[in-house]
Amino acid sequence: MAGTENRMAPKPRRDPERTREAILEVAARLLARDGPEGLSVSQVAKVAGVNRGTAYHHFQTREQLLKETTAWVSEKLCKEVFGNRSPDDVQEERLDPRALSENLANFAMENPELGRIWLATMLRSTRRASDPFWKLYKNHIDRFAESELAQPDIDREVHAAVMLFGVFLWPVWARSSVQSAKERQAMAQRFSNESLRLALHGSMRKEMFPDLELSDMRAKTSRDLKARAVGQKRAD
């Protein structure tokens, strides 16, 4: 009877959305490692542990998989950096350059492969203005430039591009010399501090941000560097 009951027990129902998400996560990893030329539906299916038929059900062609993977990366950046907020929601919120800078730097440091995919996609794209993450970030820069917090005549596109390219390339440079999560966090904080310092003396009106004092940020960076040096000596 027990055997009969087991045979008659209903099989667990598949979750198509979870399967699709798993495929996209693997596709993003392979895309970061091998580039667009190395991406294939069958390879992604194999690594993701799903059969080829299932993978092809979700993504009929390599081109569709590539397109939807890059879109998934952009949407993930939106969610992780801005939360579940639309451009209209962001439009209504109080501007907080420090929070945005730290959020972005921390996420980029912990997810360098997503940053590399986004950068490569944007460099290849002829329709950059339609990218969800670029639109959301550029919207934030536009609001900042139009507010009383900013210096006049900011080149908004250049400012946004410099900040995003810097934050996504910094982990490529920094992660080769760090090991622990604490060290990665310190490196992310260094980037956030320096980007704010540069903005404070270039695009931001200093009097509007009394809490972003240069001396305070330098002191914090100095403490982080000293702590890292001590940690390296102990490791040696």
Query: What is the pLDDT, as a whole number, of residue 93?
Result: 61
CA 28 to chain centre: 12
Q: Could you please state the CATH topology (level 3) that the domain comprising 13-60 is classified under.
A: Arc Repressor Mutant, subunit A (1.10.10)
pLDDT at 80 over 70: yes
Mean pLDDT of 103-110: 93
In the chain, where the domains are located: 13-60, 70-235
State the pLDDT confidence band at 63, using cuts at 50, 70 and 90: very high
Query: What is the pLDDT, as a whole number, of residue 209?
Result: 79
Closest CA to 87 of 119, 23, 131: 131
- Mean of per-residue pLDDT scores for the chain: 84
Query: What is the pLDDT, as a whole number, of residue 20?
Result: 94
Query: What is the pLDDT, as a whole number, of residue 15?
Result: 80
- Residue 58, both tokens: 């979700």
pLDDT at 1 over 80: no
Query: What is the pLDDT, as a whole number, of residue 59?
Result: 95
Q: Could you please state the CATH topology (level 3) that the domain comprising 70-235 is classified under.
A: Tetracycline Repressor; domain 2 (1.10.357)
Mean pLDDT of 97-117: 91
Spatial CB neighbours of 18, under 8 Å, sequence gap ≥ 6: none
Look up the pTM and report it. Answer: 0.75
